[in-house]
Structure 1
Amino acid sequence: MKYFLSTFWPAKKSKFFGKTICVLLGLSFLLNPLSTSTFEQPIDYQKKLAQLRQEIANLKSRLQQEEKRKNSLLSELSQITLQKRMLRKELTLYQTKIDQTDQEISQIKAKIPLLRQELNSQNKALGQILKVIYKSGQPGLLDFFLRADNLSQILSEEHHLSLLADYQQKIIHQYLESLHKLEEAETNLENKKNELQSLWQQSKTKEAELRQQERQKKALIRRIETNQKSYLQTLQELNEQAQQLKRLIEKIEKDQLKLPFQIIPLYEKKGRLPWPCSGKIVTNFGIQRHPRFNTLVMNNGIEIAAHDNTPIKAIHDGSVVYCDYFRGYGNLIIIDHGLAYYSLYGHCSEFLVDKGDIVQAGQPIALVGESDSLIGPALYFELRFKTKPLNPLKWLRRRW
C-alpha cells in the first residue's frame, strides 16, 4: 500500500491521501453487484413437462398400433378417441410451457430495474473517480478522460483500462459485468416474448386439430345412428370387446391379491351404495330394444349423461386394478372391492388415480368424458361379481 501511494500521489499532494482512499474504498462497497436470482426452472414444471411428454409418446405408440388393426367402425372410433386425448395432452403441454415462460418473463422484468439501478450507481461512482484523478494531479489520465467522447469509449480501450486498474480495477470490471447482464436480460426478455407468441400459435393449431377430430367423431356417430348396417357392425364389435373385458376380469380375479386392509363387504351395502356421479341415466341395464332399428341389445351396465369433467367417485373402498384405455369403453377404471366384487367406470376424460392405488368410498377417481362414447359426455358404470354383471340400480341408493 505504501508503494502504491508513493508512486501515484506526490508528497505535496499528500493532503489528498485520506480523501482519495476514502472515496475509492467507499466506491468498492457501493459497487458490489446487487444480488439477483438465477433463472432455474421450477422443479414442478420440469416434472410436469417430462410426464406430459411421456404420456404423449405412449398415446402416439398406441395410436400407431390402432391404425394397424383391421378397418372397423370401432377401430375408427378408437383412433379418434386416442387422437383427441393426445391433442389434449399436447395442449396441456403447451399451456404448461406458456405458464413457465410467463414466469421467466416476470423474473426478467423484475431483474432489469435492479440492473439499471446498479449501473446508475456505478456511473455516479465513476464520476467520483474523475474528481479524485483531477484533484490528485494525474494529467495523463485527466487528458484521456477529457478527450474521450463518452464512457463507452473509455471502457473499450484496453490500454486505457490498465491505467484505471491502478485506481480501482474492480470498479471497471463490475461496471462491464453489470452492463453485460443488462444487455443479456433485455435480449432474453425479447426472446422469451417471441417464444411465448410461438407457443400461443402452436396451441391454436392444436385446438383447430382437436375441433376437426370432434367433427369427425360426430360424423361417425351420425353414420352409426342412421345406417342400420353400420349400427349392427358396431354392435357386433362392441359385443366382441365385452368378451375381451370379461377375459380381463377373469385375469384380474386369477391374479387377485388380498386387500391390505379390512373393509365392509360390498354385499352388505346393497341398495345403499353412493352414486358414482351426478347426471341422468340414458342407457339402462339389461336387454333393451333399439328405438330406430328394433334390435335387442344386452347392456352390462348403465350410462349416466353428465357434464364434461364432472367428478367420478368410487362407490366403495377398494384397490384400483386397472386404469387405462380399453377399446370400446374408452378410458376405463376397474376397482377391486374384495370378495370378487368389482366396479367399472368407462368413458373417462382424465384419471385421478393410478393402478395400485387404494381408494375410499366417495373419493374422486376420474372425470366424466366421452372417450369411445356414442352419446356424448357420460359415465359408463358396471358392477360385477366375479365376471357376472349386476344391475347397478339394485345396488345404488334410491335417488327419489
Structure 2
Amino acid sequence: MFSFILLAQDAQLDKKKKELEKIRSELQQLEDELTAKSKKERLTYESYNNLNRQSHLISKLISKLQKEENIKQTQIENIRKEISQIESEIESIKNNYAKYVAAIYKYGKTSELESIIDAHSFNQAFLRIKYLREFSNRRKLDIERLQENKVKLSDAKLMLSIELEEKRKLKEIKESEITQLNKRLDNEKKLLAVLRKDKSNISKKLNDRKKAEIQIRNLISKVIEESEKKKEMIASTDKKVTDKKVINNEAEYDIDLSTKNFASFSEMKGSMIWPVTKGKIITAFGEQRNPKLNTVTVSYGIDILAHGELSVKVVADGVVSAVEWLPGYGTVIIISHKGGYKTVYGHLAEVYVNEGDRLNTGGLIGKVGESFEGNVLHFQIWNGRQSVNPENWLRK
C-alpha cells in the first residue's frame, strides 16, 4: 500500500520539480543578464524591471514551496492518525489474546473429546465442538492480523520519517528563498529612489502600463476561453468517464475554474470590501491625462495608495486563474468569480497563492509592492470581457 503511494508521490514530485527547475532557470537567466550590465546600466529602468521580475519569480517559488509544505503537513497528520489506529488495534488484539491465555491457565484447555463426554446431549456436543473450532480459528486470525498490523505499522513509521524529512528540506529551501526575496526587494527599493529623480523613467513606466493593459485584456480572454473549453469538454464527455488525462491533454493548464459554489459576485455591488485595509484612490478608472508629461492613458482599473497594513485581500469568493508578471504592473493576480466576473490585482511584492487555489472573501493573496508613486495597488473588475469601474462596487 505504502509503496504504491510512494510511487504516485514520486510521479507528482517529478512534475513539481520540473516546475521549480523552470522557475530557477528563468531566475538564473535574469541574474546573468543583470550581472553582465555595467555599473551605470544597472541604475536604469530596464534593470529595475529585471529585479522586479526576479522578485516575482522568487515569490512564486516561495508560494509553491509553502503549498508543498502544507501538503506534507497534511500527509504527516494523516500518517500519524493511521499509526495511532494501527497501534490501537494491535493493543486490542494483544488484550484479547491475553484474556484467552489467562482463561486457559485458569480453566485449562478443553479438547473436543472432553466436550463430547461432558455433554448432556448429542446436540450440545455438536454445538460445543463448533464453538471450539470457531474460537480456535478466531485466535489464528488474531495472530495473522497482529502480524499484518505490525508490518503496516513498520511501513507507516517509515513513511512518516520520509515525509518529515521532505518537509524539513522544503522548509529549509523556502527560508533560503525568503532571504533572497528580501534582498532583491531591498535592491529594488534603493534603485527606485534613484529612478524617481528622472522624469524619463516615469514615461517608460507609463508606456509599459499601456502595453500591460492589453496583456491583461488578453489574459482575461485566455481565462474565459479555458473555462469555456473545459465546460464543453465536460458536457461532451460521458458522465462515467473520469479519466482526467483526456482533459489535461487538450486544455492548456489543469485548473478547476468552476465558480458555481461561490457566493454571488453581482450582489456585492456597492458593498464590496476593499482589497486593502486602508487606502486612497490616486488614479481613477478610464481616461487619464498626465499634465507633467502631457500624455493620455486609459486605465481599466484604479490605483489605490495603501497606508499602514500592506496585505492584499480577495474581494469575493473566487479561484486564482493566473499569477503573471507584466512590465509596468509587476506581479499580477487574476481571480475568477461567480457569474463570469474577474478581479485583477497588480503591483504585488509578494504572492501567497497559486493558480487553482480556491479562496473565500477576505482571504490574503499577497502584499502591495513599492512603485514610483509609493505602495500602490492596481485593482480591476471585469464582467466577462468588459472592464467596469471598481469605484461603483467598493463600499463607500
Q: TM-score range by the shorter chain?
A: 0.5 to 0.7
* Identity over aligned pairs, percent: 17
Distance 1:380 1:264, change over 3 A: closer
* Equivalent residue in structure 2 for 1:60, among 9, 20, 32: 20
* Equivalent residue in structure 2 for 1:104, among 82, 85, 88: 82
3-state SS of paired residue (2:109): helix
Distance 1:304 1:184, change over 3 A: farther
Answer yes or no: is the 8 Å Cα contact 2:63–2:353 preserved in 1: no
* Equivalent residue in structure 2 for 1:369, among 366, 370, 374: 366
- 1:323 maps to 321
Higher relative contact order (Cα pairs below 8 Å, separated by 6+ residues): 2
Distance in 1 (CA, whole Å) between partners of 2:84 and 2:310 is 34
Aligned ranges 1:136-155 → 2 under 5 Å: none
Distance 1:273 1:51, change over 3 A: farther
Answer yes or no: is the 8 Å Cα contact 1:105–1:189 preserved in 2: yes
**Is the aligned partner of 1:350 residue 2:347?**
no
Distance in 2 (CA, whole Å) between partners of 1:67 and 1:124 is 69
**Is the aligned partner of 1:211 residue 2:175?**
yes
Distance in 1 (CA, whole Å) between partners of 2:222 and 2:353 is 28
3-state SS of paired residue (1:364): coil
3-state SS of paired residue (2:322): strand
- 2:190 maps to 226
Distance in 1 (CA, whole Å) between partners of 2:115 and 2:392 is 101
Answer yes or no: is the 8 Å Cα contact 1:368–1:377 preserved in 2: no
- 2:314 maps to 312
Aligned ranges 1:1-400 → 2 under 5 Å: 56=16, 59-60=19-20, 63=23, 66-67=26-27, 71=33, 72-124=50-102, 130-132=109-111, 171-227=135-191, 240=208, 243-250=211-218, 252=220, 272-281=270-279, 284-285=282-283, 301-302=303-304, 304=306, 311-314=313-316, 323-328=321-326, 329-330=330-331, 332-334=333-335, 343-346=343-346, 347=348, 349-350=352-353, 364=361, 366-370=363-367, 373-374=369-370, 380-383=378-381, 396-398=394-396
Cα offsets for 1:274-323 (capped at 9, x unmatched): 3333512288437999xxxxxx9x996225468687742239xxx97x71
- AA of the residue aligned to 1:218: N
Deviates more, 1:71-80 or 1:51-60: 51-60
Distance 1:391 1:306, change over 3 A: farther
- AA of the residue aligned to 1:332: I
Answer yes or no: is the 8 Å Cα contact 1:350–1:366 preserved in 2: no
- AA of the residue aligned to 2:65: L
Answer yes or no: is the 8 Å Cα contact 2:321–2:334 preserved in 1: yes
- AA of the residue aligned to 2:96: E
Distance 1:56 1:205, change over 3 A: same
Aligned residues: 303
Distance in 2 (CA, whole Å) between partners of 1:243 and 1:106 is 58
Structure 1, unaligned stretches of length 5 or more? Answer: 1-38, 138-164, 290-295
Query: Larger Rg: 1 or 2?
Result: 1
Give the TM-score normalised by structure 2. 0.54
Deviates more, 1:68-77 or 1:109-118: 68-77
Measured after TM superposition, the shift of residue 106 of structure 1 is 2.1
Distance in 2 (CA, whole Å) between partners of 1:181 and 1:254 is 55
- 1:152 maps to none
Cα offsets for 1:320-361 (capped at 9, x unmatched): 7x711111443612558999x964234452369779xxx9xx
Answer yes or no: is the 8 Å Cα contact 1:277–1:313 preserved in 2: yes
Distance in 1 (CA, whole Å) between partners of 2:338 and 2:188 is 36
